[in-house]
């Protein structure tokens, strides 16, 4: 597997994990509802680490996309 193929595979795996996380979030929201306090300050279950994990994965996906096409991310 080439370096580019490995990056593409990593990006696909991250996107799939993000979609799974979104599905679990939606299920939780439909079952129990989610308040702003729950979303931003929960220390239990899915929401305890959801925001940070999701943001880390999303940033990695962006970085991978840039690396795959040879562009640079500007901050």
Closest CA to 58 of 6, 17, 5, 8: 17
Whether the CB-CB separation of 64 and 10 falls below 8 Å is answered with yes
Tokens, residue 36 = 């702003």
Q: What percent of the chain has pLDDT over 90?
A: 69
pLDDT digits (tens, 9 = 90+) for 45-61: 889 999 999 999 999 99
Q: How many CB atoms lie within 10 A of CB 41?
A: 10
Mean pLDDT of the residues in the chain: 92
Q: Is residue 7 pLDDT above 90, yes or no?
A: yes
Average pLDDT over residues 27-46: 89
Is the model's pLDDT at 75 over the cut of 80?
no
In the predicted model, what is the mean pLDDT of residues 24-44?
A: 90
């Amino acid at each position: 597997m080439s370096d580019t193929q490995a990056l593409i595979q990593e990006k696909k795996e991250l996107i799939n994990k993000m979609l799974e996380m979104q599905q679990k979030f939606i299920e939780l929201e439909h079952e129990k509802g989610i308040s702003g306090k729950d979303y931003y300050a929960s220390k239990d279950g899915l929401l305890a680490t959801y925001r940070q994990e999701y943001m880390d994965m999303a940033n990695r996906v962006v970085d991978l996309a840039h690396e795959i096409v040879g562009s640079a991310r500007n901050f």
